[in-house]
A and B are shown apart, each in its own frame.
Chain A
Amino acid sequence: MAKKVKSIVSIQIEAGKATPAPPIGPSLAPHGINLMMFCKEYNARTASMAGYIIPAKITVYTDNSFTFTLGTPPTAQLIRKAAGIEKGSAMPNRNKVGKITRAQVKEIAEMKMKDLNAIDLEGAMKQVIGTARSMGVEVVD
């Protein structure tokens, strides 16, 4: 019988740097997850991706068992890379700090498709555009 999913927790942390401190401890421990086991697994499997934020998606089942998969870097990090900027705008409504093309949006959406919880590519692109706008990055044709 398929197990029933209780929660999905996605942790965004830097590759290789998981510790039982926040955000991991308080967000995973209530689900009965052995924190040190999670940290060891995460750090071993992300060791080669140092410097990137590598999300871990932890699926917790109703029997308190869990599985986890590693995701792609956050949309925002990919947008920054595509726009060639170091950080998003502190005032995204006023100060635009960069531009990305629709083709780049599509590329990011395709890469992020499985993580974005979107129904189709168009939905994923819409989310990427929304994230870009919130960072003060314009989308141009």
Chain B
Amino acid sequence: MVNRWLELSLETDAELAEAISEAIFPYVEGGVALEQTHRQQPGGEIADRWEDERVEGPIIVRAYLPDDETLAERKRKVEEALAYLNMVRPTPQPAYRIVAQSDWADAWKASFKPLRIGRRILIRPSWMEDASPGDAADRDVVIALDPGMAFGTGLHPTTQLCAAAMEDYVQPGMRVLDVGSGSGILSILAAKLGAREVVGVDTDDEAVRVGRENVLANGVADRVTIAHGSHEVAHGVYDLVVANILAGVIIRMLAEGLASRAPRFIFSGILDAQATDVARAAEAAGLSIVEQRAIDDWICLVCARRGEQKR
């Protein structure tokens, strides 16, 4: 994976910003960012909120080219596109600078504090030295976490819904499959709630790496394995499957036979408007809805194989 990029930025107005984005879009990675920052008043004070959040002032168009063998060719094409645009309307020259993933990957950590979720789960950022947060009680389940660039900080409603449901449904000795394990937060939680064996799977290389590190840091490596891939790579049957991904992925996995893997399921990452579709897919796969929980417009569904005894 590339972790150095050439950033190009151009200061322009709203009309030209769209045209520049369009011209360079085919040659840059991922997309384009347009930033409009309010100019500070002479005294350093930022003016009161604008009407309708309308911001006056220039727009900075930013785009990124990976620093690899394609760089020279992409840069040439971007400059060519801007030169042609310049013949129609005066277009500023881009400014260039090299940025590295490490420059931005950790920037948000400054605002990540120990966090309590569910009834007795405490998420502690692992880069914080204090090993025992003052308010941790004996019965707390403490998870040390560095999510890196993987999903699962405990801050998002989908993770919180899943974690709270797991407190109710994970029984000691269970085998748990965590599909889309991300930072490993839910796999680690399953082990700390007493699961005998936990398999976490994720299709993202970075998530697998980060997940394994977090498993080690929490001392549950004897019970938790993180593997690369989707649910098919985890063999055998489980007592519980946890999937905090997105509605579309859950529906697809149900069609692929996920329902045969366990008698009970916790599905999360579902928006209110998508819940009916997921419930329908679960029912078509032979599951019934045991419980539905919600935070804001996010839904978590607990399902059981039909005919299984309800808890």
Distance in Å: Cβ of B162 to nearest Cβ of chain A? 13
Contact A29 B104 (CB under 8 A): yes
Contact B108 A93 (CB under 8 A): no
Which size class do A's interface residues fall under?
Answer: 35 or more
- CB-CB under 8 A for A40 and B151, given A7-B35, A23-B30: yes
Secondary structure dominating the interface of A: mixed
Q: Which of B43-58 contact A (CB under 8 A)?
A: 46-50, 53-55
Contact A37 B54 (CB under 8 A): no
Asked if B72 CB lies within 8 Å of chain A CBs, one says no
Contact B21 A34 (CB under 8 A): no
Roughly how many angstroms separate A21 CA and B247 CA in the complex, as a whole number?
23
Distance in Å: Cβ of A100 to nearest Cβ of chain B? 14
**Which residues of A have CB within 8 Å of B23?**
88, 134
**Which residues of B have CB within 8 Å of A53?**
25, 31
Q: Which of A6-27 contact B (CB under 8 A)?
A: 6-14, 17, 19-27
Residue of A nearest to B248 (CB): A47
Contact with B along A36-66 (1 / 0, CB 8 A): 1101100111010000010000010010100
Contact A74 B21 (CB under 8 A): yes
Give the B-binding residues of A (Cβ under 8 A).
2-14, 17, 19-30, 32-37, 39-40, 43-45, 47, 53, 59, 62, 64, 74-76, 87-88, 90-93, 116-118, 126-127, 130-131, 133-135
Give the A-binding residues of B (Cβ under 8 A).
5, 7, 14-16, 18-19, 21-23, 25-26, 28-38, 46-50, 53-55, 62-64, 80-81, 84-85, 87-89, 99, 101, 103-105, 107-108, 110-112, 147, 149-153, 155-156, 158, 182, 246-248, 269, 271, 274
Q: Known pairs A6-B38, A21-B101, A26-B104. 14 more at Cβ < 8 A? A: A2-B48, A19-B30, A20-B105, A21-B30, A22-B29, A22-B64, A29-B108, A36-B150, A36-B153, A44-B246, A92-B87, A130-B16, A133-B89, A134-B23
